Structure 1
Amino acid sequence: MLDSLKQAGKNIGRDLSRTWENISEGWRELLNHSSEALTQFTRHKSEEHDEHDAGDMRPTFPRWSLLAGEIEETDKEIVVRVELPGMEKEDCHITIDGGMLYLRGEKRFERTTQDSTYHVMERAYGAFQRAIPLPRNVDTNDAQASYKNGVLTVSLPKLGGEKGRTIPIS
């Protein structure tokens, strides 16, 4: 009986150790893959003050959220896609400067009724800015942007975008 209790204790310890390793690995992967996408949202000072009034029933919004994106490179262009759910294209502004694409905008909170209570609030609202490093120099004069289904797509032709070639050695 004592031996089986000792073995059970060892098994529990080993299982807890594996669980902790998996949780740690998951957090490292999350931070590694999303650190650039983690974006701070700021609210206007008047909204922050109003939010803490005793009679106000508005939820407390998160100040950080993920703006997931991707950068794709072809022979001729760099394509940047960023998910901006719940935003209008008029609320997005793009600037390219010094090898960086700067995206700024504002995600507005709109409440349709005042007689409800939020139990979960995981969406961030407010103004944000995100800097995305570009892997190559781009032609800003021919850049194009579109917004469809909550995804902003910016197409940036590469400068000197000719395809690489293999040079034979003589």
Structure 2
Amino acid sequence: MALVRYNPWQELNTHLSHINSLFADTRVPSARFDRDFIKVPAAELQETDDAIHLKLELPGLEAKDLDIQVTQDAVHVFGERKSQTQTENNGTTRSEFYYGKFQRVIPLSAKVQNTNVTADYKDGILNLTLPKSEQEKNKVVKVNLEQPAA
């Protein structure tokens, strides 16, 4: 029987290499995640007294590729990014772009007048101005402060 010196750090090194391999997959897009993970556009929401301003990042899409539906309490965005890459017989194309259909539902913090929405789409950025309903604008909440019994 051979005598083997015990290295207490070996088990820790094994765990660290497993953890590093997990993070390595998330740093660079991987083909195996692209099939299971649907990419959605990034959103920025700003609320003022009169309206909610929604900004969506949709690079590489034309307005005809988008379907936007606004209800009183949510914005639904549907779209499709179509591949325009042509491969030659001898060439190989490697892409990290996502092509295909996507959808995103963004819940709103206040009810809006969905009949008065204004939209602007320029340079891949969609700006929606969603005016709040009159009920939400004039909403006043009374706070009751009870005096402690002395």
* TM-score for the superposition, normalised by structure 2: 0.63
Return closer, same or farther for 1:14/1:123 CA change in 2, 3 Å cut-off. Answer: same
- Once the two structures are TM-superposed, the CA of residue 139 in structure 1 deviates from its matched residue by 1.0
Give the counterpart letter for 2:124 in structure 1.
Answer: G
**Which of 102, 111, 117 matches 2:76?**
102
Counterparts of 1:117-156 in structure 2, within 5 Å, are 117-156=91-130
Is the radius of gyration larger for structure 1 or structure 2? 2
Structure 1 residue runs of 5 or longer lacking an equivalent are: 31-61
Structure 2 residue runs of 5 or longer lacking an equivalent are: 27-33, 146-150
- Once the two structures are TM-superposed, the CA of residue 145 in structure 1 deviates from its matched residue by 1.0
Give the counterpart letter for 1:161 in structure 2.
Answer: K
The root-mean-square deviation of aligned C-alpha atoms, in Å, is 3.6
* Alpha-carbon distance in 1 for matches of 2:95, 2:105: 26
Return closer, same or farther for 1:128/1:66 CA change in 2, 3 Å cut-off. Answer: closer
Greater mean deviation of Cα atoms: 121-130 or 74-83:
121-130
Would you say how many aligned residue pairs link Structure 1 and Structure 2? 131
Contact 1:76–1:163 (CA<8 Å) still a contact in 2? Answer: no
- Once the two structures are TM-superposed, the CA of residue 147 in structure 1 deviates from its matched residue by 1.2
Q: Aligned residue for 2:49?
A: 75
Q: Does 1:161 align with 2:140?
A: no
Q: Aligned residue for 1:50?
A: none
Return closer, same or farther for 1:117/1:155 CA change in 2, 3 Å cut-off. Answer: farther
Give the counterpart letter for 1:145 in structure 2.
Answer: A
* Alpha-carbon distance in 2 for matches of 1:20, 1:113: 36
* Alpha-carbon distance in 2 for matches of 1:108, 1:19: 38
For residues 76-135 of structure 1, what are the alpha-carbon distances to aligned partners after superposition, in whole Å with 9 as ceiling and x for unaligned? 211111111110122212111251211112212113564574453222222322211111
* Runs of 4 or more above 3 Å deviation: 9-24, 112-119, 162-169
Contact 1:75–1:163 (CA<8 Å) still a contact in 2? Answer: no
- Once the two structures are TM-superposed, the CA of residue 70 in structure 1 deviates from its matched residue by 2.0
